[in-house]
Amino acid sequence: MKELVKTLVTEFDDKEYAHAYMEEFSNMAIAAQIKALREQRGWTQKQLAEASGMKQERICALEDVDYDAWTIKVLRRLAKAFDLTVKVSFEKFSSGILDVSRISPETLKRTSRTEDLMEFSHNGHGYTETLWGKTVTTTKPNPLSVVINNPAVNDIQYREPSRKIA
């Protein structure tokens, strides 16, 4: 992999080549990920088509590594069918080179929203709050913190993260 990275760094001195290479890689990676996600879920193209509201022939075309007419609308429909989200961002070429060197069927797989959030919250990534003397872990941050000086209702103070409210 180090040789691939070195080669791409050198070849990417040519701006046109760098952009063309990354465009082709992006097309291939999207198509490969659609197929990997479909297979991860044990679905046929027809089942993915039904889940996304498309025809089986369209799924076949989207899984073709030479397909290059992506739209965010189609990607969002697929994401919803897979119970995932779409992330689009502008990246540095060095990040793209690393993506090229790391891509594999395993790196393209993603767990669904429910599995992901369950694992996320069980691994301590939820938010911990102390309410009425008990520690509660939630998956959503509370914009107000509750501070109790003693059990008397008049001694409860509500605080926003950046300012105090008495």
pLDDT tens, position by position, 130-154: 555 555 555 555 444 444 444 444 4
Per-residue pLDDT of 70-96, as tens digits, reads 999 999 999 999 999 999 999 999 999
**Average pLDDT score over residue span 33-59:** 98
State the pLDDT at residue 63. Answer: 98
This prediction has a pTM of 0.73
What are the pLDDT digits (tens) for 113-135?
999 898 888 876 655 555 555 55
Residues composing the chain: 166
CB 38 within 8 A of CB 110: no
From the options 3.20.20.70, 3.40.50.720, 1.10.260.40, 3.90.950.20, give the CATH code of 2-110: 1.10.260.40
Domain residue limits, the chain: 2-110, 126-165
User: What CA–CA distances, in Å, run from 22 to 6, 14, 66, 101?
Assistant: 15, 12, 13, 12
